[in-house]
């Protein structure tokens, strides 16, 4: 057996809703930084959304950018401090809607940063509005009859947008089971190893439950991800320079 | 009980952190976790663990979003 102690970066109790996947992802990220001995050197870039609740509870240096611009900010930090591990931590509304341009251009430039994108298919902090990642037919406060894809387009699959680019690492995981959580930890570790070896842009998208805004019990939220969300957003490693991948 | 180094994995519970999401209950392979009747300072009914049944596998640590569980090695 191995000791499982709370990682050093988690300096306070988190402030997320009951059953929120951010808490699990925070812990995985903190474990990886501890195991790679990067906690003291890591610099995080955040923008706006539930992810910003981390700033008081996750003990690394943080800088907050305007809404969606975390990837652009991380680019500047990394170019000035190339020896430091630099990462963005954003939700899907922040990184794939308002900040879609910044996220995509960081990947197009193959910036040597790591992006953690948490996809719960909704704008969580502002009360559950429809996001580009919302599923067809998904009921939100701005699509009370269900998302109409004829009117609003198809769900945004960021992996499909990026997988043909010249980047270092690209993976998608979920936090619905022990097995999937352990996989996400491996993906995040691979992403930081890519950055620390100068391998270019690395991104891990993580499917995460939002029981509050989905209006589901937490256990049903995990089942919803496994049974429905993953049919639109398949899991796996999609780009892995120097290694095997799904594609 | 580990045969190699004669240590035992023991669970430490932080019930005041619990928000009652119950992810840990179906995850526990020994069904050692239940919801208690009391209400913690955050206003939720926290989990309770039957320490006699717990084997210290760490599954609850892995699934918990609120850092309620820790596994420590003791002699």
Token pair for residue B12?
A: 């430490």
The band of B1, judged by pLDDT with boundaries at 50, 70 and 90, is very low
Determine, for residues A19 and B44 on separate chains, whether the beta-carbon distance falls below 8 Å.
no
Determine, for residues B58 and A1 on separate chains, whether the beta-carbon distance falls below 8 Å.
yes
Q: At the topology level of CATH, where does B8-74 sit?
A: Alpha-Beta Plaits (3.30.70)
B22-51 pLDDT, tens digit per residue, is 999 999 999 999 999 999 999 999 999 999
- Contact call for residues A57 and A12 (beta carbons, < 8 A): yes
For residue A3, being part of any structural domain is answered with no
Residue A108: count of CB within 10 angstroms of its CB: 13
For residue A101, being part of any structural domain is answered with yes
- The domain of A32 spans 21-240
Q: Is ipTM strictly over 0.90?
A: yes
Token pair for residue A12?
A: 């306070």
The pLDDT score that the predictor gives to residue A2 is 79
Determine, for residues A219 and B22 on separate chains, whether the beta-carbon distance falls below 8 Å.
yes
- Count of the separate structural domains present in chain A: 1
Determine, for residues A1 and B17 on separate chains, whether the beta-carbon distance falls below 8 Å.
no
Segments of chain A with pLDDT less than 50? 247
Residue A102 Cα, gap to closest chain B Cα (Å): 29
> Of A43, A54, A70, A42, which is closest to residue A10 (Cα–Cα)?
A54
Distance CA A67, CA A242 (A): 34
Residue A167 Cα, gap to closest chain B Cα (Å): 30
The pLDDT score that the predictor gives to residue B8 is 87
Q: Is A20 on the interface with B (CB under 8 A)?
A: yes
For residue A223, being part of any structural domain is answered with yes
The pLDDT score that the predictor gives to residue A243 is 57
Residue B60 Cα, gap to closest chain A Cα (Å): 9
Query: Hey, where are the domains in chain B?
Result: 8-74
- Contact call for residues A172 and A205 (beta carbons, < 8 A): yes
The pLDDT score that the predictor gives to residue A15 is 95
> Of B26, B68, B58, B43, which is closest to residue A220 (Cα–Cα)?
B26
Q: Which of A4, A24, A27 sits opposite B58 (nearest CB)?
A: A4
Q: Which of A1, A19, A178 sits opposite B65 (nearest CB)?
A: A19
Determine, for residues A18 and B57 on separate chains, whether the beta-carbon distance falls below 8 Å.
no
Distance CA A202, CA B30 (A): 38
CATH number at residue A219: 3.40.50.970
Q: Work out the mean pLDDT of chain B and round it to a whole number.
A: 92
Residue in chain B nearest A212 by alpha carbon: B21
For residue A77, being part of any structural domain is answered with yes
């Amino acid at each position: 057996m191995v000791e499982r102690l709370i990682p050093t970066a988690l300096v306070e109790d988190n402030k997320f809703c009951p059953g929120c996947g951010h808490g699990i992802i925070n812990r995985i990220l903190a474990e990886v930084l501890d195991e790679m001995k990067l906690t003291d050197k890591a610099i995080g870039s955040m923008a706006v959304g539930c992810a910003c609740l981390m700033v008081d509870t996750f003990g690394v240096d943080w800088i907050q950018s305007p809404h969606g611009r975390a990837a652009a900010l991380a680019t500047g930090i990394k170019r000035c401090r190339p020896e430091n591990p630099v990462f963005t931590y954003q939700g899907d509304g922040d990184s794939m809607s308002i900040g879609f341009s910044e996220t995509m251009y960081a990947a197009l430039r193959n910036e040597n940063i790591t992006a953690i994108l948490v996809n719960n298919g909704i704008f969580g902090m502002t009360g559950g509005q429809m996001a580009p990642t919302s599923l067809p037919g998904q009921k939100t406060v701005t699509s009370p009859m269900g998302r109409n894809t004829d009117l609003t387009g198809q769900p945004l699959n960021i992996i499909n947008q990026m997988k043909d680019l010249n980047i270092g690492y690209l993976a998608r995981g979920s936090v619905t089971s022990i097995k999937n959580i352990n996989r996400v930890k491996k993906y995040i570790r691979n992403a930081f190893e890519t950055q620390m070896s100068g391998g270019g842009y690395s991104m891990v998208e993580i499917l995460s439950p939002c029981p509050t805004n989905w209006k589901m019990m937490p256990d049903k939220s995990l089942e919803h991800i496994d049974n429905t969300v993953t049919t639109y957003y398949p899991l796996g490693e999609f780009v892995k320079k120097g290694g095997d991948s799904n594609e | 009980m580990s045969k190699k180094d004669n240590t035992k994995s023991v669970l430490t519970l932080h019930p005041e952190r619990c928000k009652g999401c119950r992810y840990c209950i179906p995850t526990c392979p020994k069904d050692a976790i239940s919801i208690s009747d009391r209400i913690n300072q955050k206003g939720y009914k926290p989990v309770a663990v039957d320490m006699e049944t717990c084997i210290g596998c760490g599954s609850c640590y892995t699934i918990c979003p609120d850092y309620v569980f820790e596994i420590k090695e003791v002699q």
